[in-house]
Amino acid sequence: MLRTGVEEKTGEVLSAAVLSERVVWAVDLVSGMAADLLGTHWNTTDVDVLASGEDAGGRKLPSNAWMALRRLGWTVGPVDSGGMFRAARTSRSSTGCDACPSTC
């Protein structure tokens, strides 16, 4: 259970309510990114490519899901539709797992 947080830049202690609001915002952001990724690539052709475990050049895909998706060019952009920058860590979170893509 999260009870409080600290604003990194200012050192200000955040209340549980503010922390909760920020967590909900982050979850919504990552959920939307995952939905965009699935909406774009949830088709027979792309699923077959992913299941093959190889990229277009025949190289084995990395075991981390976010790296495999990046190798395939299936990434969400660093800026959302509202112009807000997304950290790479947030983008990686949208893949949902670090398991080998061919066994997901």
Range of the domain at 73: 5-103
27 contacts: CB under 8 Å, gap ≥ 6: none
Q: How many domains does the chain have?
A: 1
Q: Give the H/E segment covering residue 14.
A: strand 13-14
Tell me the backbone φ, ψ of residue 41, rounded to 5 degrees. -115, 5
pLDDT tens for 8-34 read: 899 999 999 998 998 888 888 888 888
Q: Which two tokens stand for residue 58?
A: 């025949």
pLDDT tens for 44-92 read: 999 999 999 999 999 999 998 888 988 998 877 655 556 665 666 665 5
* C-beta of residue 21 within 8 angstroms of C-beta of residue 28: no
